[in-house]
């Protein structure tokens, strides 16, 4: 259910930012103890060996843990590399194949050089440069797109879109 924000919200008028100030104040007051720590995307996979080949061998992640309800059931696992944390799932309802992950980083050129030096025949990505920064786009074996974006001088990587 959507809360009624009064006539100013319904009409699209500003009402002197009183509503915005009220909303900001209540968000701080009522939810002052709510702290978002990190978002962990869930990416759909179909083959554990292919997932390990891409995420562990190629991208350089480590497997932090693996979970199956019982032997032979679909895998749900966490892989990570530094502050990059990903959940990979074989469960059909957990994620949509072909999703896009956008992450900001420092060292995109070094990551590109590292990946280019590996013997991974399925992907040879390039770097894209624009006024916002430099982007490396990877496509995993399941159609998921991983965009690694490093902001340029004065750039804001969160608004960047690289279509590699």
Please report, in tens digits, the pLDDT of each residue of the chain (164 residues total): 444 434 443 444 444 444 444 444 445 556 789 999 999 999 999 999 999 999 999 999 999 999 999 999 999 999 999 999 999 999 999 999 999 999 999 999 999 999 999 999 999 999 999 888 999 999 999 999 999 999 987 655 455 456 55
Quick one: pLDDT at residue 40? 97
pLDDT digit string, tens, across residues 36-61: 999 999 999 999 999 999 999 999 99
- Which two three-digit tokens encode residue 161? 């879109």
Q: How many residues does the chain have?
A: 164
Please give the sequence-ordered ranges of beta strands (E in DSSP) within the chain, or none if there are none: 42-44, 62-67, 76-81, 84-89, 100-104, 127-129, 133-139, 145-151
Beta bridge partner(s), residue 67: 76
């Amino acid at each position: 259910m959507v809360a009624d924000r009064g006539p100013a919200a319904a009409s699209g008028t500003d009402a002197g930012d009183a509503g915005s100030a009220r909303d900001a104040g209540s968000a701080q007051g009522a939810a002052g103890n709510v702290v978002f720590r990190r978002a962990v995307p869930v990416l759909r996979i179909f083959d554990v060996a292919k997932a390990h080949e891409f995420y562990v061998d190629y991208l350089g992640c480590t497997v932090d843990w693996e979970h199956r309800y019982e032997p032979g059931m679909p895998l749900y696992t966490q892989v990570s590399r530094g502050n990059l944390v990903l959940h990979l799932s074989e469960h059909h309802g957990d994620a949509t194949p072909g999703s896009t992950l956008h992450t900001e980083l420092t060292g995109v050129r070094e990551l590109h050089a590292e990946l280019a030096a590996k013997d991974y025949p399925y992907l040879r990505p390039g770097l894209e440069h624009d006024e916002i920064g430099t982007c490396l786009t990877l496509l995993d074996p399941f159609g998921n797109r991983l965009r690694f974006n490093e902001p340029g001088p004065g750039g804001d990587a969160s608004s960047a879109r690289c279509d590699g």
